[in-house]
Amino acid sequence: MDVTLDFGELSYRGKSTRLTPTESMLFRRLLDAAPKSVSTTLLCLELPRALEHPKANVRVHMKAIRDKLAEGGVPLVIESRWGYGYRLCDS
């Protein structure tokens, strides 16, 4: 995938959106693993250690990233599968 992620600015196929620093870290992890999935446990390691419910926080951040991709018209999809985690795919 020819995705550019620089200082929170995500660009792909002429479309772009902005991500927070935490969203950028999580997205980068998915991008580096694509097309394979990344477990929720591994994604939790990208979050600040002080969080009480890291798996719930991963879900919240993934929803925010999905919403931003859709709003920006970026043709990428984050798939989730119970027991496996998340993976990044072309839409």
Could you give the number of structural domains in the chain? 1
Residue 89, domain member (yes or no): no
pTM (2 d.p.): 0.92
The pLDDT of residue 33: 96
Query: How big is the chain by its Cα radius of gyration, in Å?
Result: 12
Check residue 50 and give its pLDDT.
Answer: 61
Q: Which residue has the tokens 């839409």?
A: 91
* Backbone φ, ψ for residue 13 (5° rounding): 50, 45
> Does residue 91 belong to any structural domain of this protein?
no
What's the domain range around 45? 4-75
pLDDT of residue 49: 75
Q: Classify residue 22: in a domain, yes or no.
A: yes
Q: Give domain status of residue 82, yes or no.
A: no
Residue 28 lies in a domain: yes
Is there a domain that residue 36 lies in?
Answer: yes
CATH number, position 12: 1.10.10.10
Q: Is residue 90 assigned to a domain?
A: no
- Is residue 3 a contact partner of residue 10, using CB atoms and an 8 Å limit? yes
